[in-house]
Amino acid sequence: MKKKYLFQLAQDLVLTAILLSLFGYHLYEEITHEWLGLVFFALIISHLSLNIWWLKKLFSGSYNGYRILQSAVNLATFLLFLTACISGIMLSKHLFAEMPFHSTTDFMRKIHMTSTHWLQILVGVHLGLHWKPIANLFANGYRLDLEHWLARRLIPACWLIIAAYGIFVFVQRELLPYLLLQVDFAYFNYDEPQAVFYFDFLAILIALAYSTRFLVWFFLFRKKDVKS
């Protein structure tokens, strides 16, 4: 397996871990949260540089439904990422507190809070659209047989159980109001174990990814599978 793909795989795993840590604002000190945000920004730039071929092909070739969806999700994810980063820098209480653009207004805080929650949604959708290539990357890296019954039956069943739990967690944690600009102040459970928080939010990402996979298959590829 090429070193580039191994690096890409490791980088995406680190990105996911940092993203989950950023969601857990209450788990770390504020300055740690800000440093994690800067590292996340740098890794996203690295991620884009490794996928520069996609940007080069953006205006070439024909567009079907899947390519339109994928391009729209990628661009929307990037815009949300920029919004979350810019608003986070403006809200900074440590690393950028002395900058002239510093702002701690309720409006800026709400923009940051809403954009980060929508970013979580689109990262999950993005993961779902790239689930098969990521699975192939893991399979090649660890020499797994994707045709084995474990890969075709047991592992998908485990993902499905985790995804169902993720939907439950999304409802239980009442995250929908954050997406609809209905929350003015975020609620954090400071007594919550880190392991529970990480698993819950990872489960939400998997739920979003699996839901995306199913919906894309149902609306875009189901007829092709039936014909074949």
Residues 6+ apart with CB under 8 A from 44: 15, 81
Say whether pLDDT at 10 is over 90: no
Q: With cut-offs at 50, 70 and 90, classify the pLDDT of residue 15.
A: very high
HEC assignment per residue over 10-56: HHHHHHHHHHHHHHCHHHCCHHHHHHHHHHHHHHHHHHHHHCHHHHH
Put simply, whether the predicted model's pTM sits higher than 0.75 gets the answer yes
Q: What is the pLDDT of residues 152-194, one digit of tens each?
A: 788 888 889 999 999 999 999 999 999 998 888 888 889 999 9
pLDDT averaged over the chain? 89
**What one-letter code names the amino acid at 205?**
L
- 8 A C-beta contact, residue 148 and residue 191: no
Q: What is the pLDDT of residues 80-104, one digit of tens each?
A: 999 999 999 999 999 999 999 999 8
CA distance linking residue 89 with residue 38, whole number of Å:
9
